[in-house]
Structure 1
Amino acid sequence: MTYRTPRRLLVTLAALAAAVVALGAPGPGSPDTAAAQPPPYQDPGLPVDERVEDLLGRMTLAEKIGQMTLVDRSALDSPSDLATHRIGGVLSGGGSAPTPNTAESWADMYDAFQDAALSTPLAIPVLYGVDAVHGHNNVRGATIFPHNIGLGAAGDPTLVERIGRATAEEMAGTGVDWNFAPCLCVARDDRWGRTYESFGETPELPTAMATLVTGLQGESLGDPASVLATAKHYVGDGGTAGGDDQGDTRIDEAELRAVHLPPYREAIARGVGSVMVSYSSWNGEKLHGHDYLVNELLKGELGFEGFVVSDWAGVDQLDGREGFTGAEISDAVNAGVDMVMVPHDHVRFVELLRAEVEAGRVTTARVDDANRRILARKFELGLFERPHTDRSLTATVGSAEHRELAREAVAASQVLLKNDGGTLPLAGDARILVAGKNADDIGHQSGGWTISWQGGSGETTPGTTILEGIRARAGDASQVVYDREGEGVDGSYDVAVAVVGETPYAEGAGDRPDGLGLDEEDRATLANLRASGVPLVVVLVSGRPLDVADEIDGWDALLAAWLPGTEGAGVADVLYGDRAPTGTLPVTWMADVGQQPINEGDGQQPLFPYGFGLTY
């Protein structure tokens, strides 16, 4: 359809143009007209702080509040909701994935969300966050690396940095630009269900492994394969009394600073872009509302210049009652939280925060400070210039190169704890009975935070099970027989290998205050194998040390495999001696669960001390 401009309007426009020319200013159609120039914030040649200030000066209060809002994708009726509420961040909680769950679907979803954000007047792109805590673990087919406790056992900061780089590439290949990792907690009680997310029980190990920040963020955040890293969970979450998830860390400030703070100091030195506040409390005061620890210590003393993000609905816990309140929001924001994760209640959050600002309980200066921190990271990531998925990186998801790196990490993470009579390494021609519920289960060996939040059993994602790795390495695969319960073993076998331990769990569900022993199925399997008299190798798949002191005398060898991820062949590499075991314990191994918490230097006598590890 063609529209005609009325003659009277044409005359008026002509007169205005003549007046402009007479004044010596550029007229309509001139390449120098202001209308033809992009605003300064869209100029990548300007310094980031200038771009931020220009954009901030153009934003309404509604747009600023939107930037402080982080919502789960499942809470959005459609991508257009982002434009309606000017949302600044979207996330996928554990298991929140597109259908089908493929790298290509993730990229399509991400681009649709960015298109919605770019449709707003200021075209501010969104950040998209995930918990890619051991590889891009929400995406089926991605490379799943060992959980942090295994990488702590490997003790190789360069390896961890390489894993961060590979993870960033796979994330960027799906568009996702923000990782809620690394977890820099110092786990002090193995009953805690998040122990496997810690690199180790001493501050030195998580501090050394903060190289993951550099791997994720690259030499420059603006590089195509770089993503924003998050140091979490600030601070002291690994020291809660009784290992209670989201519990209370009852220690003095000197211990907090000596044990739990050093990894964050290192992450900040490495330029980490965001910090996530812990659900837990310090001496009864919730971290989400802790002005001293967030504003004064983190942002003031440590000089953190990135932005602080809350944990999943963490602000809603401040008053101990369900449902956000204006007071909770103002307490958290005034304490230093810049972006609030309100996974399913973003509309109410926006309304409440606006009311708090209009009432003066949250100042506009505080809102502007939060926006400066968030917007600076978006500019540094290059999102304004490259808001969509770099499809050239999509093929890196689950690539052979990344899986080989994961296999290397699995082998490096193995800790040999017992090896009587040189039972290991296995001979290439040995006849082997493999048993145990964790021998042939990708889901079990990957643990929690794999495809879904709590993880699962079975073929949750493509990979190589420990059994498959053994069969592939054996000189003759027919020499390897599998029986889950360990039945049928007799003197015709040279050795039995039992792959036992924990099944997947994540935070909360993983807390084990009442014991850390093997389950009944494992005990029955081991009893069957011991009764045969065949030499017994136990491979323990677990997210922490287990209480095995009353069992270990009946085992000839014990290998701690932790939670190796999708590349089970790395376990077979060590069992057969293709790689000698080099891992050492990143945590003290209890002689009895009654010793918990047990840590290096506390005077208790463990089954195996921190740093222990045999080789051959």
Structure 2
Amino acid sequence: MRKVLVGTVAAVVLASTATAVAVAASGDDSATESPAYLDASRPVAERVDDLLGRMSLADKVGQMTQVDRSAVADDPKALAEYRIGSVLSGGGSAPPNPEAEGWADMYDTFQRAALGSERKIPIIYGVDAVHGHNNVRGATIFPHNIGLGATRDPALVEEIGRATADEVAATGLDWNFAPCLCVARDDRWGRTYESFGEDPEIATAMTSYITGLQGQNVLATAKHYIGDGGTTGGDDQGDTRLSEADLKAIHLPPFAEAVRKGVGSVMVSFSSWNGQKAHGHKYLITDLLKGELAFTGFVVSDWAGIDQIDGARGFTAEEVRQGVNAGIDMVMVPEDYRQFTQLLTAEVEAGRVPVERIDDANRRILAKKFELGLFEHPYAERAPVGTPEHRALARRAVRQSQVLLKNDGNVLPLKKDSRIFVAGKNADDIGNQSGGWTMTWQGKSGPITPGTTILAGIREVAKNVTYDRGGEGIDGSYDVAVAVVGETPYAEYEGDRPGGLTLDQEDLQTLSRLNKAGIPVVVVLVSGRPLAVPASQALLAAWLPGTEGGGVADVLFGIAKPTGKLPVSWPATKDQQPVNKGDGKRPLFAYGHGLSY
């Protein structure tokens, strides 16, 4: 861990000091004494002022530019040439060696190149470690947010934030694009599992993740600002049509609490509010976030987000101008950094983007780099990932996230000496139980990273277990059947289901075979949202548990009692969307429902 603690910048970071201005005015980098900004004993505000005063427009524009690793992998020297401020790994953008060592090697290569610039300003590296360090093979994969919302346990989520920060920092990286504080109001949305739940109260409580992450000195990101969970029809990157009062009541509270907790960055949503893209919305970014909420960190765009302002492909000068003037401080390009830096430079030189706006953005970005200690400790501090301690924490999180929806005849908990038949495509598949944003952007079925499948967890407890994916071979001699069914991995956009939410044909056929055997059937649903499921004796919502499937088995056998409560309303039919607490509709299982033993 880097030893410097992350703190809030507050007003002092944005303030100027007369001394720093005087030093900056001299512009004398050739003085024998080290520049003030390299003196770690000085206050952050003074270091920022000193460095800012020495920077050219090219330096400043570069600091506002974030590129994906793939854009500079073959030419790391471009980081110094263009004074790039940040590198990121988009979903699945990984080094050739996806193990922790490969990530650390890559990070150090990029950092070494960036430090070759005249000002020697380190990069800050961002990654979507949204449920553990999920791009790194062998890392601990925690339940996705919807499962954590079911735990109703902010202290647990804070622990997960700390553990995730440990594994992120172990590979050198210093900035996590998490937590997602969206309030999902329509489960057809493909990012529902990234939400802690349908009520802003849950996401607000789970901002404890920020405390855990930043307490270990990895910068957190509150995303996606604002209203992405409220789009019409659950349309990804769609339009949230709400009054300002409703926007503030439903979607703003988690962000307000994130700011109160000192979150270092905020990412803007792809979505629109009443027809206007958030990436170009000055009221939302500057007036509301930076003004009314007094956010003092920096605002980052989403992947090529400003490119969507005019609805046409390709950056334009007008989009760059509108996005930066709206209040975006760092722009995730992520590939066309040459064109972006040229356009922004021209806009500043023409007076269409004020120098004051550029300086404000740089102050915010540089302050976080100083607070993180990047100038003093720029390289990876290598350590193991996927440790036994972190996997034990993840298993505990899986236990607490299980929601027992139905238990007719008290078929659960299972008896360890029962003759058990296990079926279903999600019983023995780490990729399926981990979901999207795992090793790749959309996720992938199969043994994509080390872990314990749900089937393996069951076999750890019971010895008389038969498994067949499709349910072939079952008969009445078994005491119980366990069907582990549900969704296969997806992420944003590709996960939208406007046609409704139900099981696929393979799952339906599997359940049909099991039900014909005339024995009790327990359905374990592995999914990122509620689905319509045929009748069974018991139904356990396992969500997307990650690599520690043993936690599901712990609940099935009563080693741990189910304590999870629904973070979303469970629809009565596949088409009953949207359905939310207090809307007058009657769901199959209400928000907050959850049985125990």
TM-score range, shorter chain: over 0.9
1:169 is matched with 166
Q: State the Cα distance separating 1:37 from its structure 2 match.
A: 2.0
Q: State the Cα distance separating 1:537 from its structure 2 match.
A: 0.2
1:506 aligns to 2:503 (yes or no): no
1:60 aligns to 2:60 (yes or no): no
Q: State the Cα distance separating 1:309 from its structure 2 match.
A: 0.2
1:159 aligns to 2:156 (yes or no): yes
Per-residue CA distance 1:42-87 (angstroms, 9 max, x = gap): 1111110100000000000000000000000001132111011000
1:264 aligns to 2:249 (yes or no): no
1:472 aligns to 2:460 (yes or no): yes
Q: State the Cα distance separating 1:119 from its structure 2 match.
A: 1.1
Q: State the Cα distance separating 1:35 from its structure 2 match.
A: 4.0
Q: Name the CA distance, whole Å, in 1 between partners of 2:426 and 2:170.
A: 31
Counting only pairs closer than 5 Å after superposition, residues 24-173 of structure 1 correspond to structure 2 as 35-76=31-72, 77-173=74-170
Q: Name the CA distance, whole Å, in 1 between partners of 2:578 and 2:58.
A: 48
Unaligned runs of 5+ in 1: 1-32, 219-224
Q: Name the CA distance, whole Å, in 2 between partners of 1:487 and 1:453.
A: 33
Q: State the Cα distance separating 1:36 from its structure 2 match.
A: 3.9
Of 278, 283, 305, the residue aligned with 1:314 is: 305
1:6 is matched with none
Q: Name the CA distance, whole Å, in 1 between partners of 2:568 and 2:526.
A: 15
Aligned residues: 568
1:279 is matched with 270
Q: State the Cα distance separating 1:547 from its structure 2 match.
A: 1.9
Counting only pairs closer than 5 Å after superposition, residues 293-442 of structure 1 correspond to structure 2 as 293-391=284-382, 394-395=383-384, 397-442=385-430
Q: Name the CA distance, whole Å, in 2 between partners of 1:204 and 1:511.
A: 25
Q: Secondary structure at the match of 2:342?
A: helix
* TM-score, scaled to structure 1: 0.92
Q: Name the CA distance, whole Å, in 2 between partners of 1:308 and 1:604.
A: 38
Q: State the Cα distance separating 1:117 from its structure 2 match.
A: 1.1
Q: Name the CA distance, whole Å, in 1 between partners of 2:523 and 2:577.
A: 23
Paired AA for residue 334 in structure 2: P
1:182 is matched with 179
Q: Name the CA distance, whole Å, in 1 between partners of 2:166 and 2:373.
A: 16
2:431 is matched with 443
Q: Name the CA distance, whole Å, in 2 between partners of 1:486 and 1:166.
A: 38
RMSD (CA atoms): 0.9
Q: Secondary structure at the match of 1:52?
A: helix
* TM-score, scaled to structure 2: 0.94
Q: Name the CA distance, whole Å, in 1 between partners of 2:30 and 2:272.
A: 53
Q: Name the CA distance, whole Å, in 2 between partners of 1:344 and 1:80.
A: 15
1:581 aligns to 2:562 (yes or no): yes
Per-residue CA distance 1:453-483 (angstroms, 9 max, x = gap): 0000100100000000000111x2xx11100
2:13 is matched with none
Counting only pairs closer than 5 Å after superposition, residues 448-463 of structure 1 correspond to structure 2 as 448-463=436-451
Q: Secondary structure at the match of 2:362?
A: helix
Q: Name the CA distance, whole Å, in 2 between partners of 1:469 and 1:298.
A: 45
Paired AA for residue 53 in structure 1: D
Q: Name the CA distance, whole Å, in 2 between partners of 1:491 and 1:200.
A: 40
Of 584, 594, 605, the residue aligned with 2:586 is: 605
Paired AA for residue 129 in structure 1: G
Greater CA radius of gyration, 1 or 2?
A: 1
Q: Secondary structure at the match of 2:575?
A: helix
Paired AA for residue 48 in structure 2: V
Paired AA for residue 328 in structure 2: V
Paired AA for residue 160 in structure 2: I
Q: Secondary structure at the match of 1:132?
A: coil
Q: Name the CA distance, whole Å, in 2 between partners of 1:490 and 1:546.
A: 27
2:16 is matched with none
Paired AA for residue 516 in structure 1: L
Counting only pairs closer than 5 Å after superposition, residues 544-563 of structure 1 correspond to structure 2 as 544-548=529-533, 551-552=534-535, 555-563=536-544
Paired AA for residue 500 in structure 2: G
Paired AA for residue 547 in structure 1: A
Of 224, 229, 232, the residue aligned with 2:223 is: 232
1:595 is matched with 576
1:27 is matched with none
Q: Name the CA distance, whole Å, in 2 between partners of 1:265 and 1:306.
A: 13
Q: What stretches of structure 1 move > 6 A for 4+ residues in a row?
A: none
Per-residue CA distance 1:188-239 (angstroms, 9 max, x = gap): 0000000000000001000000000001100xxxxxx420000000000000
1:567 aligns to 2:548 (yes or no): yes
Q: Name the CA distance, whole Å, in 2 between partners of 1:78 and 1:438.
A: 41
Q: State the Cα distance separating 1:330 from its structure 2 match.
A: 0.4
Paired AA for residue 477 in structure 2: S
Q: Name the CA distance, whole Å, in 1 between partners of 2:56 and 2:36.
A: 17
Q: Name the CA distance, whole Å, in 2 between partners of 1:602 and 1:55.
A: 53
Q: State the Cα distance separating 1:343 from its structure 2 match.
A: 1.0
Q: Name the CA distance, whole Å, in 1 between partners of 2:411 and 2:537.
A: 7
- The answer (yes or no) to whether the contact 2:162–2:213 under 8 Å persists in 1 is yes
- The answer (yes or no) to whether the contact 2:499–2:575 under 8 Å persists in 1 is no
Q: Secondary structure at the match of 1:276?
A: strand
Q: State the Cα distance separating 1:273 from its structure 2 match.
A: 0.3
Paired AA for residue 50 in structure 1: E
Per-residue CA distance 1:557-587 (angstroms, 9 max, x = gap): 0000000000000000000000000000000
Q: Secondary structure at the match of 1:593?
A: coil
Q: Name the CA distance, whole Å, in 2 between partners of 1:432 and 1:318.
A: 55
Q: Name the CA distance, whole Å, in 1 between partners of 2:418 and 2:96.
A: 45
Q: State the Cα distance separating 1:488 from its structure 2 match.
A: 1.0
1:531 is matched with 516
Of 461, 485, 489, the residue aligned with 2:474 is: 489
Paired AA for residue 584 in structure 2: G
Q: Name the CA distance, whole Å, in 1 between partners of 2:513 and 2:576.
A: 30
Q: Secondary structure at the match of 2:428?
A: coil
Q: State the Cα distance separating 1:34 from its structure 2 match.
A: 8.4
Paired AA for residue 591 in structure 1: A
Paired AA for residue 262 in structure 1: P
Paired AA for residue 51 in structure 1: R
Q: Name the CA distance, whole Å, in 2 between partners of 1:547 and 1:489.
A: 24
Per-residue CA distance 1:252-280 (angstroms, 9 max, x = gap): 00100000000000000110000000000
Q: State the Cα distance separating 1:424 from its structure 2 match.
A: 0.3
